[in-house]
Amino acid sequence: QSVLTQPPSVSGAPGQRVTISCTGSGSNFGAGFDVHWYQQLPGTAPKLLIYGNTNRPSGVPDRFSGSKSGTSASLAITGLQAEDEADYYCQSYDSSLSGVVFGGGTKLTVL
Amino acid sequence: QVQLVQSGAEVRKPGASVKVSCKASGYTFTNYDISWVRQAPGQGLEWMGWISGYNGNTNYAQKFQGRVTVTTDTSTNTAYIELRSLRSDDTALYYCARKVVGTTYFDYWGQGTMVIVSS
């Protein structure tokens, strides 16, 4: 059971928009800690996709965007492409655990 | 360019220990932290702990306290994680990742080291 809750899977057709939710609690998002997102392509290490709730590292397309409100956060992907098929993880810090926490991951399938 | 290069795969018996290395290059090692994250086969990401590249201060996940030690060697820009009393459920891919000081995200990751625990 992960501290941050994500849907196990989402899917969308090429060109569509999909969102991935990440639900936390008062000891992480609600305490003001940021959400970060990672993309893990099959057989590779995770890659930072969004940091500090809404910021994209250099090289990440603007098709990817993040948001956070209260105890929930979401990742949106517009103009879905086949290469976006991957696992996506949200991550934050939890004051009750005094450590980093991850969501369970969401598998994105491009139909 | 920033690179984190990890040591090769390891096989251990239950009860043994394993030490995995992560050699950093392309940045000033002491200006960043190094974190360790593991991923069991077919499972999600699990944070284990981090260490300051500046002063060696550590922060471990409660689940691993007493069984894990993270260290650095600033002369070689290398971080290490040692996990003791290995169990079969410690079988996983172990990643090191760079953490920006004062933040909680990981901007560069190593390629991963597979640790298999089997009798």
Q: What average pLDDT values come out for chain B (119 residues) when binned by 10 residues?
A: 98 98 97 97 97 93 96 96 98 97 95 98
Q: Over 90: is that where the pLDDT of A35 sits?
A: yes
Q: Would the CB atoms of A105 and B60 count as touching at under 8 Å?
A: no
**Nearest residue to A86 (alpha-carbon basis) of A108, A56, A59:** A108
H or E stretch covering B36: strand B32-39
Confidence class for position A1, pLDDT limits 50, 70, 90? confident
Q: How far is CA A94 from CA A71, A97, A102, B45, B62, in A?
A: 12, 5, 10, 15, 12
Interface of A with B (CB under 8 A): 2, 33-34, 36, 38, 45-48, 51-52, 57, 89, 91-93, 97-105
> Interior CA angle at A4 toward A32 and B51, to 5°?
70
Number of H helices, E strands in chain B: 0, 11
Report the DSSP beta bridge partners of residue B5. B23
CB count within 10 Å of CB B10 equals: 16
The answer, for B65 touching chain A at a CB cutoff of 8 Å, is no
